[in-house]
Every structure is written in C-alpha cells, then in structure tokens.
C-alpha cells in the first residue's frame, strides 16, 4: 500500500489530476483510511512541491497544476473525513485573509471541523477584514478562523482582529488563526484566542475554545 501512496504523491507532484483521482479512489477501495491517504499520499506530494518551488526547481504554473491535482484528491476524501454523527450548533466562519490566495489548508481545516460536528461557513480566500466583520454580524458564529500562508499577509490577521474588536464583537466570539508561517507567539501577539499548526489540532483548539467560554 505504501507504494500506491508514494505513487499518489508523485502524481500530485506531476499535476496529474485524473491520476490523483484514480489512485485516491483505488486506495480508498482497498480500505485505506482517508486520513492515511491524506497524510501519507497527498500531503507529502504537496510538501515536495513546496520544497522544489522554494528552491527554484519548479515554478508557479507547476504549483498551480499540483494544487488542482490536490483538489481532485481532496474532493474524494472530503466526505469520508467529514463524516460525523455528532450534530452541533457550534458555528465557525473560516477564511484566508486578504491578499492571500492559498486555500488548500483552510479547506482541510473546514473539512475536519465539519467532521467534528461544527457548522462551517467558508468565506474562501482573499477575505478582507470588512468581509469577516459582515460575516460575523450575519452568521453570529462562535468562532472566526483565519488562515494565512504568506508572511506578508499575516498582518491582515491583526487588522481583522482590531476591526472585530472595534465593532464590539469580541464578547462571546472566539478568534483562531493558523497557516504555515503563523506561530503561537504571533497568535498571542495579535490577541487571537487560539492557534493551531494543522487541521487535526485546529479541531482540538476549537473544542477547547468552546469549553473555555
Ligand atoms: Co504559494 N507560497 N505563493 N502558491 N505555495 C507558499 C506558501 C510558500 C511557502 C512556497 C515557498 O516559497 N516554499 C511561499 C510563502 C513564503 C512566505 O511568505 N512564508 C509561497 C509564495 C511566495 C507564493 C507567491 C508569492 C509566489 C509568487 O507569486 N511569486 C504566490 C502568492 C499568491 C497570493 O496568495 N497572493 C503564491 C501562489 C501560490 C499558488 C496560487 C500557485 C498555490 C495556491 C493554490 C491554492 O491554494 N488554491 C500555491 C501553493 C500551492 C503553495 C505551496 C506549494 C503549498 C501550500 C499548500 O497548499 N500546502 C506552499 C509551500 C508549502 O506550504 N509547502 C506555498 C498544503 C496545505 C495542506 O498545508 O496550507 O500549510 P497548509 O495548511 C495546513 C496548516 O498550515 C494548517 O492546517 C493545514 C492542514 O494541516 N492551517 C491552519 C492552515 N490554515 C489554518 C487555519 C487554522 C488552523 C490551522 O485556524 C483557523
């Protein structure tokens, strides 16, 4: 099975979306858990894309097709990751901050949150502080979750928190942040209530925030 998952990672690296879909389907039909397909097939492929992009060995077009291939796999494992019997009234509004187009990690966080019984409202990417504020007023969520993948967009998290606080929405609303360059120290500095490094701990963080209220 590890050979199949390795091949899956390679197909993702090559940006072969139909190949990724076919191998993901095969792995699931063979009984591999969705989380294993994600952690041992799709994510290692995407990590390799990130390393080679950083090192100048591949360029934006290759990264875009790899991201599309990632989505092809995610679509298939999504219903399995999100399976949950525990209905919950807890609501989380998620978005990638303004200026940032990276949405794969944020989508994964949404899928895992859904699986944990949260009602997820996904605002997508490039979300301005004002749109977060509108959604906070409209949806009345328990948590606002912000994602940033660029060090240049991390400051927008701070602005968004300021906008929400200025509007007086910081009473029962909890704010959590995450994304590859985001750290716990940054979360503390900008006054976020929670920080998580990955989608699994994001769920743990959200549950903790709900208990602490
Ligand atoms: Co870009 N990119 N990218 N990119 N890209 C990175 C992030 C980069 C690290 C690559 C590198 O240099 N090695 C680098 C950022 C450097 C930095 O600032 N620190 C970078 C750059 C520089 C850029 C551009 C500026 C390149 C350019 O144009 N010169 C440009 C910026 C565009 C923009 O946003 N304005 C750009 C563009 C793109 C694409 C559009 C081509 C594409 C995104 C497609 C898409 O998302 N639809 C892309 C991609 C795919 C990547 C890499 C290769 C992969 C990101 C990814 O999806 N990872 C990335 C390198 C890397 O990270 N290895 C890179 C998989 C995903 C599952 O992980 O997103 O980390 P991640 O999410 C995790 C955790 O972070 C966490 O949980 C998730 C699941 O475990 N998490 C949260 C995320 N959000 C959370 C929220 C939470 C809690 C946890 O609470 C609310």
**Fold agreement between 2-86 and 89-211:** no
- Residues lining ligand 1, judged by CB closer than 6 Å? 46-47, 49-50, 53-54, 60, 63-64, 67, 99-106, 108-109, 145-147, 149-151, 176-181, 196, 198-199, 202
| pLDDT of 5 above 60 | yes
- 86 pLDDT band, cuts 50/70/90, is low
- Which atom of ligand 1 lies closest to the CA of 153? 18
**How far is residue 181's CA from residue 157's CA, in Å, rounded to a whole number?**
12
Looking at the structure, give the CATH architecture of the domain made up of residues 2-86.
Orthogonal Bundle (1.10)
Q: Is the pLDDT of residue 108 over 90?
A: no
Residue pair 20/12 in contact (Cβ under 8 Å)? The answer is yes
% the chain with pLDDT above 90:
75
Residue nearest atom 73 in ligand 1 by C-alpha distance? 105
Q: What dotted CATH number matches 89-211?
A: 3.40.50.280
Compute the mean pLDDT over every residue in the chain, rounded to the nearest whole number: 92
Indicate the pLDDT class of residue 85, thresholds 50, 70 and 90: very low
Ligand 1 atom having least distance to the Cα of 146: 91
What's the 87 CA to ligand 1 centre distance in angstroms? 31
Percent of the chain at pLDDT > 70 equals: 95
Is 95 a residue whose pLDDT tops 70? yes
pLDDT in tens, 173-191: 999 999 999 999 999 999 9
| Structure confidence by residue, pLDDT tens digits, 131-147 | 999 999 999 999 999 99
pLDDT for position 84: 54
Residue 154, both tokens: 């991390």
Burial environment of residue 18 by CB neighbours within 10 A (0 to 12, 13 to 18, 19 or more): exposed
Q: Which position has the higher pLDDT, 47 or 162?
A: 162
**pLDDT greater than 90 at residue 81:** no
Tokens 């998952």 locate to 5
Residue 170 is predicted with a pLDDT of: 64
With beta carbons less than 8 A apart as the criterion, state whether 84 and 116 touch: yes
Rounded to an integer, what distance in angstroms lies between the CA atom of residue 162 and that of residue 141?
Answer: 17
Domain boundaries, the chain: 2-86, 89-211
| Alpha carbon of 47 to ligand 1 centroid (Å) | 10
Q: From CA 82, how far away is CA 206, in angstroms rounded?
A: 16
The answer, yes or no, to whether residue 27 has pLDDT greater than 90, is yes
């Amino acid at each position: 099975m590890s050979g199949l998952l390795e091949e899956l990672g390679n197909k993702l690296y090559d940006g072969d979306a139909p190949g990724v879909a076919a191998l993901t389907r095969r792995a699931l039909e063979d009984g591999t858990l969705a989380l294993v397909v994600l952690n041992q097939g799709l994510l290692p492929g995407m990590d390799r894309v990130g390393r080679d992009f950083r090192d100048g060995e591949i360029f934006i077009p290759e990264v875009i097709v790899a991201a599309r291939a990632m989505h092809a796999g995610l679509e298939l494992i999504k219903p399995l990751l999100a399976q949950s019997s525990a209905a919950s009234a807890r609501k989380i509004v998620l978005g990638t901050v303004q200026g940032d187009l990276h949405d794969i990690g944020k989508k994964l966080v949404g899928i895992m949150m859904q699986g944990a019984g949260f009602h997820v409202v996904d605002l997508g990417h490039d979300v301005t502080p004002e749109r977060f504020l509108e959604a906070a007023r409209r949806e009345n969520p328990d948590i606002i979750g912000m994602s940033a993948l660029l060090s240049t967009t991390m400051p927008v998290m701070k602005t968004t928190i300021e906008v929400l606080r200025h509007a007086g929405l910081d009473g029962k609303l909890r704010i959590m942040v995450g994304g590859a360059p985001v750290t716990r120290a940054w979360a503390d500095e900008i006054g976020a209530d929670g920080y998580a490094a990955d989608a699994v701990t994001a769920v743990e963080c959200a549950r903790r925030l709900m208990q602490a209220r």
